[in-house]
Amino acid sequence: MLTALEDRRVLFVPYHLEVVSQVTASVLQMRELLTQTLQALPETARAAGSVRAMRAACRKFLEEPHPDFRNLPPLYGRGRFGDEEGSPPFFVALGELRATFGTHVAALAYQYGIDIEGELASILPSADDAS
């Protein structure tokens, strides 16, 4: 599962390169991967909690309304962007998704002694965050 997540650019590509439809498709694919992983894990597996939390973060991103920034002018806060550009609320929701994944990927890596390398490591909480 972690190997597959290393290939999910939605978790680490710079925000200005994100395309809304591609982000949505990638999050749907991650949710499916996480569901398949849960089906393969025993109910008592230590990893199940983190996998469930990441799957819930995918559902939240896909189904719940993104934050509403009432203090921003309509051009910036409420979707007057092109369909593929995203908006500030979209990117805040994407940041929340990445933070949740980073926390749980780090927990799984620690529990199972797995090194997370490459671009996926960029979403892991830093050592400074622990203090």
Summarize pLDDT for 81-105 with one digit per residue, the tens: 445 567 788 888 999 999 999 999 9
Looking at residue 130, what is its pLDDT?
55
Q: Is the pLDDT of residue 78 over 50?
A: no
- pLDDT one-digit tens code per residue, 29-50: 999 999 999 999 998 999 999 9
Looking at residue 71, what is its pLDDT?
66
User: Quick one: which of 37, 12, 36 has its CA closest to 94?
Assistant: 12
Looking at residue 80, what is its pLDDT?
47
Quick check: 20 and 86 in contact, CB under 8 A? yes
Mean pLDDT on 104-123? 95
Looking at residue 129, what is its pLDDT?
57
Residue ranges per structural domain of the chain: 2-130
Tokens at residue 54, please? 């990441």
Quick check: 91 and 130 in contact, CB under 8 A? no
